[in-house]
Amino acid sequence: MERWICAFCGPTGEKRTKEHLWPASLHRRVVALLDGGEQKFWLARLDRALPNEPTIRDVCAICNNGELSKLDSYICEAFDRYFSIIRERGEQVTLDYDYHLLKRWLLKMSYNSARISGSDVPVFQPLIPYILGQNTSGGRTVRLFLDMTYPSNMPAEERQAGLPAIVRPEINRVGFLGYNAPTGSKVLRAVHLRSFSFLLAFLPSAANATSVQAFVAEFLSCRPSARELRASISRVTLSCNGIDCWESIKSGMAHRIDFKRA
Ligand SMILES: [Zn+2]
């Protein structure tokens, strides 16, 4: 049997699977929530503006149908309970979460996205055992934050045919979020599940507790509406006030980071 390298478990003779970036079970849920009129029209336009996400063919059937599919199941349940509902600006939002299932799924999505776009794949190599649920300590260098994306009133000068007057976070997106800190501009990975924007910060494995705390404090002072999610806590409450939906979509289209050149 042909041997090849599974992106998660390494050399294998198992069957390859073929998947889109977004799990079909989750994609179906998003599509089911779109109304048939204005939204569908404009999202179809947006879809054409965003680069096509090709399929992933480097994950074996054991990984894909085993541990990784458990993570997808968790996210689909959370989607039905929380992410399906689009939040208004200023609304108080409470999320109950399983820290490790949530973070492992977010890392899986980010790793898949990195392989598709040929970006920072090596960052994820040390995290694979954690993503597969083989340990919980491996994820320690990744800090997780939640910020909320609110619907945007389209500025009059940007209104054009086919765009709704209010742009709501209808779709799921994966990308980056940049912010300016006193110590320079920084970039976090972002996975947006409609109104919920999960932000992942990758810290050096050698970072000590003091420097990690300093990073978290600086990030939260730059983005006061965000909250850190932690393994010891399973509920977070925050105000939907962090990210302007239209600005976020535009910056996602305009600036895709080229890691090969950096
Ligand atoms: Zn595998």
The CB-side HSE value for 235 (13 A sphere, CA atoms) comes to 3
Structure tokens at 159: 């209104």
Nearest residue to 42 (alpha-carbon basis) of 182, 143, 165:
165
Which own/partner contact pairs does 27-30 have at CB distance under 8 Å and 24+ positions apart?
27/172, 29/76, 29/79, 29/80, 29/84, 30/170, 30/171, 30/172, 30/194
Nearest residue to 235 (alpha-carbon basis) of 96, 75, 105, 129:
96
Q: If you measure from the C-alpha of residue 99 to the centroid of ligand 1, how many angstroms do you get, rounded to a whole number?
A: 23
Contact 76, 105 (CB under 8 A): no
The whole-number pLDDT of residue 47 equals 66
Other CB atoms within 10 A of residue 10 CB: 10
Q: If you measure from the C-alpha of residue 115 to the centroid of ligand 1, how many angstroms do you get, rounded to a whole number?
A: 15
pLDDT, tens digit, for every residue of 58-104? 999 999 999 999 999 999 999 999 999 999 999 999 999 999 999 99
pLDDT, tens digit, for every residue of 105-139? 999 999 999 998 888 899 999 999 999 999 988 88
Q: If you measure from the C-alpha of residue 119 to the centroid of ligand 1, how many angstroms do you get, rounded to a whole number?
A: 21
Q: If you measure from the C-alpha of residue 223 to the centroid of ligand 1, how many angstroms do you get, rounded to a whole number?
A: 38
Q: If you measure from the C-alpha of residue 9 to the centroid of ligand 1, how many angstroms do you get, rounded to a whole number?
A: 4
Q: If you measure from the C-alpha of residue 132 to the centroid of ligand 1, how many angstroms do you get, rounded to a whole number?
A: 10
Whether the predicted pLDDT of 255 surpasses 60: no
Q: If you measure from the C-alpha of residue 61 to the centroid of ligand 1, how many angstroms do you get, rounded to a whole number?
A: 7
The pTM assigned to this predicted structure is: 0.92
The whole-number pLDDT of residue 55 equals 85
Structure-model confidence comparison of residues 144 and 33, the more confident one = 144
pLDDT, tens digit, for every residue of 158-216? 777 667 788 899 989 998 888 888 888 888 999 999 999 999 999 988 889 899 999 99
Q: What are 4's strand-pairing partners? A: 12
pLDDT, tens digit, for every residue of 9-20? 999 999 999 988
The whole-number pLDDT of residue 39 equals 64
CB neighbours of 22 closer than 8 A, spacing ≥ 6? 53, 172
The whole-number pLDDT of residue 185 equals 85
Q: If you measure from the C-alpha of residue 197 to the centroid of ligand 1, how many angstroms do you get, rounded to a whole number?
A: 28
The whole-number pLDDT of residue 205 equals 85
Q: If you measure from the C-alpha of residue 63 to the centroid of ligand 1, how many angstroms do you get, rounded to a whole number?
A: 4
The whole-number pLDDT of residue 48 equals 65
Helix axes 67-78, 24-33, angle to 10 degrees: 20
The whole-number pLDDT of residue 50 equals 58
Q: If you measure from the C-alpha of residue 13 to the centroid of ligand 1, how many angstroms do you get, rounded to a whole number?
A: 9
**Domain definitions of the chain by residue range:** 21-54+66-254
Nearest residue to 238 (alpha-carbon basis) of 82, 98, 26:
82
Give the pLDDT band of residue 53 (cuts 50, 70, 90): low
Of all residues in the chain, the percent with pLDDT exceeding 90 is 62
Q: If you measure from the C-alpha of residue 259 to the centroid of ligand 1, how many angstroms do you get, rounded to a whole number?
A: 26
Q: If you measure from the C-alpha of residue 19 to the centroid of ligand 1, how many angstroms do you get, rounded to a whole number?
A: 14
Residues with CB under 5 A from ligand 1 (ion): 6, 8-9, 60, 63
Q: What are 243's strand-pairing partners? A: 149
Q: If you measure from the C-alpha of residue 120 to the centroid of ligand 1, how many angstroms do you get, rounded to a whole number?
A: 20
